[in-house]
């Protein structure tokens, strides 16, 4: 995997939203592995540095979530990167908070970022799904994912999880997704499932 994409919405207003955990993960990876400052390229923010024995690209599309595919496609075309060498990190409401899954290919499950990417580059890319939980009612999904993580969530599982992802990402990039997921699980303890409160802070 040469191109690692984190999905989110640009700007301080959205920085701590559940929908932006992809951006949070990319920032953690960049800090942990000494990537240089992000530059504005390909309708996104891009940084490049060696990681796990190869130069990797980190990308945060700045097109807003619904048009993420434009940024991903421009970067992939310029660097001639095939879909199977792309990893997309995104929030997943169908996983409980703190759970993480990695797979190649599949559907978009209604995620607007993936829905934007699929028609442009196809579906044969890797996805890192980070669970943020579900509000319990379909109509509350949008306000829920656009709500900030609470301080409790950040301390309890968000920051430990993205730190574990950053520490162990080399396993995944070298082609060992099962070892990566096992190591992240060993380093973190997702919170016990409890009913989500969609509009609380």
Count helices and strands (H / E) in the chain.
7, 7
Structural domain contains residue 29: yes
Structural domain contains residue 192: no
Strand partners, 50: 55
Q: What digits encode the pLDDT tens for the residues 144-153?
A: 999 999 999 9
d(CA 36, CA 48): 7
| 50: containing domain | 3-187
* pLDDT of res. 1: 83
Structural domain contains residue 198: no
What mean pLDDT value characterizes the chain?
93
**DSSP per-residue codes, 82-104:** -GGGEEEEEEETTS-TT-EEEEE
Q: What is the CATH number of the domain that holds 64?
A: 3.40.50.1470
Catalytic positions, written as ranges: 19
Q: What digits encode the pLDDT tens for the residues 36-54?
A: 999 999 999 999 999 999 9
Structural domain contains residue 127: yes
d(CA 166, CA 7): 16
Structural domain contains residue 193: no
Q: What is the 3-state secondary structure (H, E, C) of 105-128?
A: CCCCCCCHHHHHHHHHHCCCCEEE
* pLDDT of res. 201: 39
Residue 107's alpha-carbon distances to 30, 144, 197, in angstroms, are 28, 22, 27
Structural domain contains residue 197: no
* pLDDT of res. 96: 94
User: Which residue ranges of the chain lie beneath pLDDT 70?
Assistant: 189-201
Strand runs labelled E in the chain: 3-6, 39-41, 44-51, 54-61, 86-92, 100-104, 126-131
Q: What is the pTM of this model?
A: 0.92
Structural domain contains residue 51: yes
d(CA 10, CA 65): 9
Q: Which long-range contacts does 133-136 make (Cβ < 8 Å, 24+ apart)?
A: 133/93, 133/95, 133/96, 133/97, 133/193, 133/196, 134/93, 134/94, 134/196, 135/93, 135/196, 135/197, 135/198, 136/195, 136/196, 136/198
Structural domain contains residue 21: yes
* pLDDT of res. 191: 59
User: What's the number of domains the chain is made of?
Assistant: 1
């Amino acid at each position: 995997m040469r191109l690692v994409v984190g999905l989110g919405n640009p700007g301080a207003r959205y920085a701590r939203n559940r929908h932006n955990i992809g951006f949070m993960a990319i920032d953690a990876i960049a800090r942990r592995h000494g990537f240089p400052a992000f530059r504005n390229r390909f309708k996104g923010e891009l940084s490049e540095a060696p990681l796990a024995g190869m130069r990797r690209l980190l990308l945060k599309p700045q097109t807003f979530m619904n048009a993420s595919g434009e940024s991903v496609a421009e970067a992939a075309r310029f660097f001639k990167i095939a879909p199977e060498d792309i990893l997309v990190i995104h929030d997943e409401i169908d996983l409980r908070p703190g759970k993480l899954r990695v797979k190649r290919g599949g559907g978009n499950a209604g995620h607007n970022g993936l829905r934007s990417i699929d028609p442009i580059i196809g579906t044969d890319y890797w996805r890192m799904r980070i669970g943020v939980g579900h509000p319990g009612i379909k109509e509350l999904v949008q306000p829920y994912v656009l709500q900030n993580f609470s301080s409790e969530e950040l301390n309890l599982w968000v920051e430990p999880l993205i730190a574990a992802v950053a520490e162990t990402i080399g396993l995944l990039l070298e082609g060992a997704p099962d070892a990566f997921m096992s190591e992240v699980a060993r380093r973190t303890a997702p919170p016990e499932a409890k009913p989500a409160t969609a509009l609380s802070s």
